[in-house]
Chains A and B, each alone.
Chain A
Amino acid sequence: MVVDDSQVICRQIEAVLSKQDFDVVSTAADGVLALRDFRMLKPDLVTMDLTMPRLDGIQTIKQMMIIHPGVRILVVSAVKDKATALRALRLGAYGFLCKPFTRFELAEAVDVLISDLGKT
C-alpha cells in the first residue's frame, strides 16, 4: 500500500514496487483514506508519507499499528529531522527513506524490510 498526497510520488513508488513483484493493493492521498483501505485490505507493507492533509503520517502509523501490528511501514518523507524519524520508528515504523530518493534507494529500503520480515 502506498500513502502519499502526491500522485506523482505514488506512481513512482508503485512502479518500483511492481518491478520487485509486489502487488500494490491501494494508493491513498491522506491518512483518512489510507486507514479506510488499510482496515479492509490489511497489507503486508506500507510506504508512508508524513506531511499530508486531514490526517498526517505519524497519526496514521499510530492507528495502523493498533489495527494490524504485524504491518511493515516504510516512512518515505521529505521531513528530515531526527526527532520525527525517531518518533515514527518508536510508533512502529520499520524504516525511514528521505525524499528525494532514487528508485535504487527505494528498492534497497524495501529489500531491507523484506529480509527482516523473512527472519521473524
Chain B
Amino acid sequence: MKEEEINVFVNGVVHYFETMAVVPAEVSSPYLIDGLTGSIMEYTGVIGITGEYQGNVLFTAPVEMMAKLLALYDNQEASVGALLDLVGEIANTFSGNVREEFGADFQISPPLVAHGSPKEVRTAEGLQTYCIPILWLGMRANLIVALR
C-alpha cells in the first residue's frame, strides 16, 4: 500500500472521533507489523475486503475504551454483546468511509467480531500489514490494515 492510501484510513479515524466524541483522538504514525501478535486487544472487529483491493481491515480495542465509546451512543448498557456489536460497527465505519477515495469497488463484508484476542483473528496471508495506533483518553486501540 502507498502512504497516501494509509493516510485515507488515518483521516477516517480522526473524523470518527471528531464526530462522535468531545475529545479528539491522537493518531500516531502507522508502522509495518509482521503478524498480529501483540497488536490484538480484547475486542476486535474484522472486515473482509474484496474487489480492486483484497485483504482485511481490523479495529481492535480494550474493554475500557469500548465501554467509553458505547456511552457515546445514547448510554447503552455495556454488555459483552453490545461491545462486540460496536467494535464490528466501528470496523465497518472505518472501512466504508474510505470508499469516498477508493471507490465502490472497495467491497466490504459485514463484520466478524471476536472477544478476548483469540488466535482465530488473522489477516489474509502474504500481505503488507500496517498498524495505525489510536490514542484516546489515555487508552490505546489499533486499526490494522492488510491490503493487496
Contact = CB atoms under 8 A, between A and B. Distances in A.
Contact of B74 (A53, A78, A103): A103
B97 interface: yes
Given A100-B16, A100-B93, A102-B20, 5 more contacts: A8-B73, A8-B85, A80-B100, A81-B102, A99-B97
A101 interface: yes
Interface string A1-13: 0000111110110
A32 interface: no
Nearest to B47: A51
Interface residues of B, number: 30
Interface stretch (B32-40, B103-111, B122-130, B133-141): B103-111
Contacts of A81: 99-100, 102-104, 106
Given A8-B73, A12-B73, A51-B92, A100 B82 contact: no
Contact of B104 (A5, A83, A100): A83
